[in-house]
Every structure is written in C-alpha cells, then in structure tokens.
Amino acid sequence: MLRGIKQRGRTELAGAPLWSGRACLGFRPMSAAVQIPCPACLATNRVPQQRLSDKPICGRCKGHLFADHPVALTDETFGTFIGAAELPVIVDFWADWCGPCKMMAPQFEAAAQANAGRALFAKLDTDAARVTASHYAIRSIPTLIAFRNGKELARQSGGDDQAADRALAKPAAQALSQARRRTRSPARPQLRAAHRAADRTRTRSQPWSACCC
C-alpha cells in the first residue's frame, strides 16, 4: 500500500488532510461562475461561486448538482462528466469483488457528503468500464484519482481509513495556491462586493437553479 501520492512518476507525501481547513479552502473556486455537470442528465451548469453551498439544481432536469453519494460513471459518461467539471473530481476505481473497495466505500460516501460544493465524488466499476480503466492504467484497486478540468492531478492506490485523505491532499494544496494567485487581481474586491449585493436581493427559500449551458 502506498503511503504517498503518485504524481508524475514519483511518490510525494500528502500535505493537508481532507478535513482540514486548509484543504477545504483549496477547493473553493475563485472565478465568478463554475461549470458543474449534472450527475443525472450530464448537462453543463454554470453556478456562481457564492451559490455552491445553496444546494443548486440543474437548469435542465432540476436534479441536485451535488448528490449525497458518489456519482456512478460508465465508459460512456466518464469523459463528459470529468471534462465538464471545474471543481476537483475524485474518482474511486473499484470492483464488486474487491474487499478493500467495500471497506473504504462508507468513508468515501461520507467525504462526498461533507465536501458538497467543494469537490465532486464519483465511482467507476472497473469490471463494467474496462475501456476507461485501461486508459488510466488501473493495475490495482481501489485506486483514487483526482481530476480537475479533465486532467489528472494525483492518484492513490490501496484502501484504508486514510486513503481518501491522502488522495485529496495534494490537489487541495494546488487549488489553494491557484486561488491565492488569482485573488491578487485588483478587480476581485469589486467583483465580490457586487456578488454580495446581488445575494441580498435574492430569496433563499427555494433551492437555487443553475444556468444550464
């Protein structure tokens, strides 16, 4: 079992754990709107960053964009879902016969619930989706891979009670670094003030509906 994160041919020790404030902050997008694929109909929705915690719903099918469980992907849906997401996407490559996969499943589902609005969580059955598993050279399971904007950021093979933490730590640190660089723009304070003003005019009594592109 690996004790670090494989990235670009080397193993690196994990940084901040998934549940730490630093890691969670790293998942907050800094752009005015974030693209999020609907887990039900795969429509691409644009959601203002200040609305990510408001349980946004799909502009097409009205389903929740942040499910309370990992999204089940297939060979047909994997590329669309991963490519359309501007939030980090953590994918669990698993199989039904794999004991460690089943042991890690409850923690992975809990992570999906705890990090709604910060990251997306998905599962791919490697027996049913052999093309995708082969493309990403999955040699052992469970394997967790973190993606952002369709690109692999890091991976972790092997399952235990800390596997999800280690798999997410490096992407969180990278996202935090990007967020800090983008906040240096002089236009950001005015943009954030405009967003806050717009928020005060909206009602929060109903789930917020995203703009479906």
Looking at residue 145, which CATH number applies to its domain? Answer: 3.40.30.10
Strands of 33-37's sheet in order across:
33-37, 44-48, 211-212
> Could you report the per-residue pLDDT of 36-93, keeping only the tens digit for each?
999 999 999 999 988 888 899 999 999 999 988 999 999 999 999 999 999 999 999 9
Domain count, the chain: 1
pLDDT band at 5 (very low <50, low <70, confident <90, very high): very low
Residue of 98, 211, 212, 213 marked catalytic: 98
Note whether residue 156 is domain-resident: yes
Strands of 151-157's sheet in order across:
10-12, 5-7, 151-157, 143-148, 89-94, 120-125, 71-73
> Could you report the per-residue pLDDT of 107-136, keeping only the tens digit for each?
899 988 888 888 999 999 999 999 999 999
Note whether residue 197 is domain-resident: no
Q: What is the pTM of this model?
A: 0.67
Q: Which domain holds residue 79?
A: 5-182+207-212
101 is catalytic: yes
What is the average pLDDT value for the chain, to the nearest integer? 74
Note whether residue 27 is domain-resident: yes
Residue of 101, 211, 212, 213 marked catalytic: 101
98 is catalytic: yes
pLDDT value at position 171? 53
